[in-house]
Amino acid sequence: DQQVKQNSPSLSVQEGRISILNCDYTNSMFDYFLWYKKYPAEGPTFLISISSIKDKNEDGRFTVFLNKSAKHLSLHIVPSQPGDSAVYFCASTVYNFNKFYFGSGTKLNVKP
Amino acid sequence: DTGVSQNPRHKITKRGQNVTFRCDPISEHNRLYWYRQTLGQGPEFLTYFQNEAQLEKSRLLSDRFSAERPKGSFSTLEIQRTEQGDSAMYLCASSLGFDGTDTQYFGPGTRLTVL
């Protein structure tokens, strides 16, 4: 049962433009959401998070939006840079449940 | 601190053999997680420890899998009688353990290939 879904396996964006990565979840109990970035031969690294009491969280070039009614979150990267090229995973959990569910990832390619 | 380390980075074994992986978390982190990642998928939760106590195990963790964290420091994941379906990347992560939203820091993973 895949509770977190990333339906776009890949995304290609021109440098300087906006990258939008999407994620859907099915479990209405989820109340904490994260994005991780993964480079080849490395483990995922934490990027940004959002709790269900918010609908937006910003950190520099990265903004995560949460639409609870649609069970949808998105990650916006503005402006995109070639160094952002990586696989991005979204993850969800229930607060204090300590079990995180990951999507299958979206491979972002930012072209110079 | 150099982050979470995992050894070995790669392991090739024959079906039916036992393998053991090691994870060294960030030193002050109380929580330690094991995940499995197969090609084209995200990490799947296997189990986690709060200090030395194993608090949850996924149903993915069959009887052939066992994890330990003696003294609440490093952890080992053992797979007995390996099967080809066990081929995957095994990821370890650690976190401070203050609450359920602690940032998890991942190691580079151990890639297992079962022939």
Question: A102 vs B55: CB contact, 8 Å cut-off?
Answer: no
Q: Which residue of B has its CA nearest to A99?
A: B45
Residues on chain B touching A99 (C-beta within 8 angstroms): 45, 48, 56, 58
Cβ distance B100 to A94 less than 8 Å, yes or no, reads: yes
Say what the pLDDT of residue A44 is: 94
- Interatomic CA distance for residues B8 and A112, integer angstroms: 36
**What is the CA angle B68-B107-A74, rounded to 5?**
115
- At B13-70, the pLDDT tens digits run 999 999 999 999 999 899 999 999 999 899 999 999 999 999 888 888 889 999 999 9
Q: Enter the tokens of residue B107.
A: 């190691």
If you measure CA to CA, which chain A residue comes closest to B32? A98
Q: Do A104 and B101 touch (CB under 8 A)?
A: no
Q: How confident is the model over B100-113, as pLDDT tens digits?
A: 677 899 999 999 99
Q: Rounded to an integer, what distance in angstroms lies between the CA atom of residue A45 and that of residue A68?
A: 25
